[in-house]
Amino acid sequence: MSGNGLHVGTGGYANERPPSSTGSAEMDPATDPASSGFFSNDYKRHDDLKSMLDSNKDTSKLEAMKRIIGMVAKGKDASDLFPAVVKNVVSKNLEVKKLVYVYLTRYAEEQQDLALLSISTFQRALKDPNQLIRASALRVLSSIRVQMIAPIMMLAIKESVMDMSPFVRKTAAHAIPKMYSLDPEQKEQLIEVIEKLLADKTTLVAGSAIQAFEEVCPERIDLIHKNYRKLCNLLVDVEEWGQVVIINMLTRYARTQFTNPNKDEMQDEADRPFYDTDKEEEEEGAAEEKPQPKTYIMDPDHRLLLRQTKPLLNSRNAAVVMAVAQLYHHCAPKSEVGIVSRSLIRLLRSHKEVQYVVLCNIATMSIKRKGMFEPYLKSFYVRMNDPAPIKLLKLEILTNLATETNISTILRELQTYVTSSDKEFAAATIQAIGRCASSIAEITDTCLNGLVRLMSNRDESVVAESVVVIKKLLQTQSSGHKDIIIHMARMVDTITVPMARASILWLIGEYSDRVPKIAPDVLRKMAKGFISEEDIVKLQILNLAAKLFITNSKQTKLLVQYVFNLAKYDQNYDIRDRARFLRQVVMPGENSRGLFTKHAKKIFLATKPAPVLESKFKDRDQFQLGTLSHVINKRSTGYQELPDWPEVEPDPSVRNVEVVMPWTEKTTTKERKDKKPKKEAFYSDEESSSADEDSEEESSDDESEEDSSEEESNQEESDDESGSDGDEKSEKSEESKEDSEDESEEENSDEESEEGSEESDSASEEEVKPKARVTNKTDKKTPGAPAQSTGPASRDFLLDLDDFAPASSASSNTTGTPGDFLTPVMASSMSAMSISDKSPSSRSSTMISPLEVPLKMYELLNKMQGKGLTVSYKFTRTISVFSPKMVSIEMIFTNLSDKPINSIKIGDKKFQKGMEMQDFPEITILDVKATTSVLMAINFNDTTQPATFDICAQDHKFQVSITAPVGELCQPYTMNEKEFITQQGKLSGMNENTGSVEIHSDKPDPKTVVTTVYKVVNTLEVTSSEENVFRFAAKTVSAGTLVLISIKWKDTKATIIVNCEQMVIGTMLLKDLKTAFGMFS
């Protein structure tokens, strides 16, 4: 007990002068005064700690915890204290609690059972009103890595994601990857959580949410679409670490969603650098307007990304700057990449570790983009006290940047490096000179001369390196340089470095034909001193001898024999072996047939491949810049390949944020238009608007109309968007006001408005862009037009307009029915509008709009029955202009009789209860062989009961009936996958109809599947994250009941599930679908 008291005493001391003397210094057994008997002592001490932890005094608890943390920090085992520590998790003292948390995260994994004791405390803390406590409870709970609590963790994460405090949400985002590494099975659920977090609008959460996304499901790029613009706009305000992660992710995103901005410029790379400087000056706004090659116009979203990241080049955080630089390198048009170079150069002034990484990246960039760094050439000059790795990197970059114009400066600089006392560096410099010489033909001779001079250097490595480099250079040169070889031959007398002597001998042997007189003389000299040479030189002497014997046997025969004889008795067996072998090949004895001798020349004097002198960074561009893999030039774990640009741009509309209900939206606008009293007014309106918006229209009527409608819808969207942006802003400003009450509000509002105006600027910019792109696309896509032309027949109809218009206008004038302005003009323009309208709303991966499916024609009246009049109809699948509850039907009348038919109209109707019908306007006259179509609508009241009515033509009456297939009683409904699944869950049991079809192709072509469904049902695909699962959502026209269709494909079997509250519709739809798929197989 006395020991115990003593320790409490020391504890008090430590508290006075915080942890100083009792700190980790004492933890160290080496410095522990009592370390002599430290086994028993150690045990005792732990015992003592335990009793301190058990005491009810906070001071002693704290002291004990501090000492335990000291052990943890030192890396010593403190796990046996676990039971004593874990009890204190409930401590009221914050610091004790905090330290217990630290301890728990360290050891919980090893003591899983005991760790469970603490769980309930955390669960309670998760409900604490204090956000810091909630957050830290979640942090610890998710950090203790005990498999058993995974479900609790999941629950906690799910709750925390919804927390009021963004800080807790951020912590939740961090917990997701922890959860994922603990239990990868939960991926699906975690993705759902991530999706929620991605939608979060606070800057605090954004970075961590993306980090979670990157660690759990980087392949689910589709989750980003909706958040893309938000992320870009928030980026500047996100904390620096989050910025790095977001930019890296967006780089990958850009590479999958946009097209290559440099595609068209591949050829004229040569004159790029010159342009660069010009373009750099201009602000990006100007660059945007620059007449890009016609075929490429940058997606506004792509532009947005580049614009939003640019200010981050001024970040104080090197990682952020690097991230932006790599984004520009990988995703920006060539002309704009230049702006990053200056910021990268600035980073070179930073810590040496930062320098190292940045230089690595510049080295790779400089291979492809010389012009970018050429102005900063001098920044890469080496200082003698730079760390060795940095020296080498700078040298590498200098070599990469060498061009004909700057080579003289570079060479002068390199010369000073050669004399450096750091010999390794000097040798690297010589190699660099060699590379410059081989890449720039003009200076090869100068370099060679310089290198020759270096051969008289006193330093072995310098000489050896220069001889080796000269050797390589001479090999790459096809001819000449006799004088250099002669010079080198002379140097044999003075050079002592064996490696260099050997290289010279090799050279003379190889090019003996260029110096026929000198070569034998050199051999003579070498033969004289053969015995005293180094082994490596001896080998080369033999080599030289053999080669000379082949080319010039007359003069050298005796010499060669002499050398071989000397070598025969050499001490080194390698040399003896070599001599024996060479002798056999070049001067075989009488008894051997000398097969080799004939080919000796080919064997020894074959042209050797010239070594290629190129950058060590050549192959590094396979890795994304700024990554770990790039720096170590090896694929690291978890590295994600940077995808190649897609050939065709994926649907850009997926990023449109507002989930507008196209249908309700549309009807309101239509109603508005419907109310326009006069037809003329309507006409002129449309004309003027199209004239305004499409001033440069040159295309045919229908196209312009489509354009304008597209335009309109776009405008609507951007309106919505800017609205939401505004909301965001105001939210933010509110927040900031709360936090900084004292902050001058004027200032604030000032800034806000500034930002706001910029926002609107960009919005207007965006507005202009899409139009251009759309026209462009249609231009490009003309071969692919069938998709559109086969689509709604109503479009064809437009062409007939002119013929028909007078008639209809006449009718409207005369009859004046309520539907008078519902002429085909209107109808068709409406349908055209809704087509273009729908394309952004269809977020299907397969990109098929439901309206692109050919519509089925039904016959109502044939020639025989109708006495020459034939009537057919089809379901247009557009929202009826009469009432959203009606199914829109287009009737086509053809007069096949021999005289015109007058006044075609609807007569008596026999309807079921609840059904109603909107008549088509009377057709006053239908000429012989003429065809006309009218629009009518029937409210089937969601039943498949026939609508029976009479068609009156002149004096005849034909009773006909129209039955709508169930599929036509539906209207597409947009929803996302999650919503779909939840809704589906609600419609189980009785409301679910399941069936399966055997299909003989096991790999479903998504397009066919979707088209098949579209043929049967008027619906819309819901983007599915799973392969081979297709989901469609619709609502019934009249009652608005949800209809959900999902098709799961497995091997040769397709399971169709239809969920609908109205059982009749469900069953019938299933039947129809089964039939359709049955045919499809």
Positions 733 through 772 that interact with other proteins (CB under 8 A): 735-736, 739-744, 747, 751, 754-755
Binding residue for other proteins, selected from 88, 91, 111, 143, defined by CB under 8 A? 143
**Which of residues 265, 288, 374, 413 is near other proteins by CB under 8 A?**
413
Q: How far apart are CA 238 and CA 566, in angstroms?
A: 79
Judged by CB under 8 A, the stretch of 348-356, 547-555, 846-854, 1041-1049 that binds other proteins is 348-356
DSSP sequence for 396-445: HHHHHH--TTTHHHHHHHHHHHHT-S-HHHHHHHHHHHHHHHHH-GGGHH
Q: Helix, strand, or coil here: 260?
A: coil
What three-state secondary structure class fits 917?
A: strand
Contacts (CB under 8 A) with other proteins, residues 180-219: 181, 204, 208, 211
Picking from 655, 763, 648, 772, the residue whose alpha carbon sits closest to that of residue 710 is: 772
By CB under 8 A, the count of residues binding other proteins is: 125
Output the smallest distance, CB 737 to other proteins, in A: 10
Token pair recorded at residue 144: 């203790």
Site string for other proteins, 247-266 (x = CB under 8 A): -x------------------
CB 30, min distance to other proteins, A:
9
Q: Which of 32, 159, 240, 651: binder of other proteins (CB under 8 A)?
A: 240
> Does 732 participate in binding other proteins (rule CB under 8 A)?
yes
Which of 33, 219, 378, 1027: binder of other proteins (CB under 8 A)? 378
Residue for token pair 């392949």: 219
Of residues 577 through 636, those in contact with other proteins by CB under 8 A are 626-629, 631-632, 634, 636
Residue from 9, 83, 151, 389 in contact with other proteins (CB under 8 A): 389
Which region, judged by CB under 8 A, interacts with other proteins, from 383-391, 671-679, 866-874, 952-960? 383-391
C-alpha to C-alpha distance for 772 and 791, rounded to whole angstroms: 24
Of 71 and 489, CB closest to other proteins: 71
* C-alpha–C-alpha distance, residues 1032 and 1043, integer Å: 8
Contacting other proteins (CB under 8 A), which of 295, 419, 959, 1052? Answer: 419
CB of 1039 to other proteins, least distance (A): 47
Q: Based on CB atoms, which residue is closest to other proteins, 114 or 610?
A: 114
Q: Smallest distance, Å, CB 163 to other proteins?
A: 12
Whole-angstrom distance, CA of residue 193 vs CA of residue 262: 37
Q: Distance between CA 580 and CA 542 in Å, rounded?
A: 10
What is the separation, in whole angstroms, between the first and last Cα of the chain? Answer: 87
| Residues 167 to 186 in contact with other proteins, rule: CB under 8 A | 167, 170-171, 174-175, 177-178, 181
Q: Which is nearer to other proteins, 745 or 979 (CB)?
A: 745
Would you say 312 or 975 has its CB closer to other proteins?
312
Residue 250 beta carbon to other proteins: minimum distance, rounded to whole angstroms: 14
Nearer to other proteins, 176 or 231 (CB): 176
Our CB check for other proteins shows the closer of 357 and 947 to be 357
- Our CB check for other proteins shows the closer of 145 and 771 to be 145
**Amino acid, res. 347:** L
CA distance to 64, 244, 378, per residue, from 351 (Å): 39, 19, 19
Runs of H (alpha helix) within 694-823: 701-739, 745-780, 786-789, 793-815
Q: Which residues 6+ apart lie within 8 Å of 288 measured at CB?
A: 298, 303, 765
Identified binder of other proteins from the candidate list 52, 193, 221, 358, rule CB under 8 A: 358
SS (H, E, C) 165-202: CHHHHHHHHHHHHHHHHHCHHHHHHHHHHHHHHHCCCC
Q: Which stretch binds other proteins (CB under 8 A): 328-336, 418-426, 705-713, 781-789?
A: 418-426
Site for other proteins in 79-108 (CB under 8 A): 93-96, 98-99, 101-102, 106
Which CB sits closer to other proteins, 380 or 1014? 380
State phi, psi for 1061 to the nearest 5 degrees: -65, -35
Nearest CA-CA partner of 478 in 509, 446, 514: 514
Smallest gap from residue 177 Cβ to other proteins (A): 6
User: What is d(CA 26, CA 936) in angstroms, rounded to the nearest whole number?
Assistant: 93
Q: Between residues 90 and 102, which has the closer beta carbon with respect to other proteins?
A: 102
Residue 433 CB, nearest approach to other proteins (Å) = 17
Q: Which residues in the 921-980 window bind other proteins by CB under 8 A?
A: none
Residues 274-285 as b/e (b if ≥16 CB within 10 A, e otherwise) read eebeebbeeeee
Site mask for other proteins (CB under 8 A), range 451-480, x = bound: ------xxx---------------------
Site for other proteins in 491-520 (CB under 8 A): none
Q: Which is nearer to other proteins, 553 or 757 (CB)?
A: 757
Q: How far apart are CA 549 and CA 556, in angstroms?
A: 6
Q: What does the alpha-carbon distance between residue 22 and residue 43 come to, in Å, rounded to a whole number?
A: 18
Taking the complex as a whole, the smallest distance from the CB of residue 137 to other proteins amounts, in Å, to 13
In 3D, which of 1012, 717, 1004, 922 has the Cα closest to residue 836?
Answer: 717
Residue with smaller CB distance to other proteins, 349 or 675: 349
Show contacts with other proteins in window 314-343 (CB under 8 A). 314-319, 321-323, 342-343
Q: State the nearest-atom distance from the C-beta of 742 to other proteins, in Å.
A: 4
- What is the SS3 assignment for 391? helix
- For other proteins, what does the binding mask look like between residues 32 and 61, x meaning CB under 8 A? --------------------------xx--
Residues 980-1019, one symbol each (x = binds other proteins by CB under 8 A, - = not), give ----------------------------------------
| Strands laid side by side in the 956-962 sheet | 923-926, 901-910, 947-953, 956-962
Q: What is the DSSP letter of 606?
A: P
User: Strand ranges (DSSP E) for 983-1052?
Assistant: 992-998, 1020-1022, 1029-1036, 1042-1050
Least Å from the CB of residue 253 to other proteins: 16
Asked whether the beta carbons of 997 and 1064 are under 8 A apart, the reply is no
Cβ pair 836, 713 in contact under 8 A: yes
Per-residue x/- track, 13-32, other proteins (CB under 8 A) = --xxxxxx--xxx-------
Site string for other proteins, 271-310 (x = CB under 8 A): ----------------------------------------
Sole binder of other proteins in the list 35, 120, 295, 416 (CB under 8 A): 416
Q: Which of residues 632-691 bind other proteins (CB under 8 A)?
A: 632, 634, 636-640
Provide the minimum distance between the beta carbon of 555 and other proteins in the complex, in angstroms, as a whole number: 39
Q: Which is nearer to other proteins, 391 or 1015 (CB)?
A: 391
- Select 94 or 681, whichever has its Cβ closest to other proteins: 94
Contact 543, 580 (CB under 8 A): no
Per-residue binder mask for other proteins (CB under 8 A), 115-134, x = binder:
---------------xxxx-
Alpha carbons 393 and 388: distance in angstroms, whole number: 9
Q: Which residue has the tokens 């028909």?
A: 804
Write down the least CB distance from residue 201 to other proteins, Å.
13
The residues near 89 (Cβ < 8 Å, ≥ 6 apart) are 97, 100, 101, 104, 117, 118, 121
Separation between Cα atoms, residue 250 and residue 360, nearest integer Å: 22
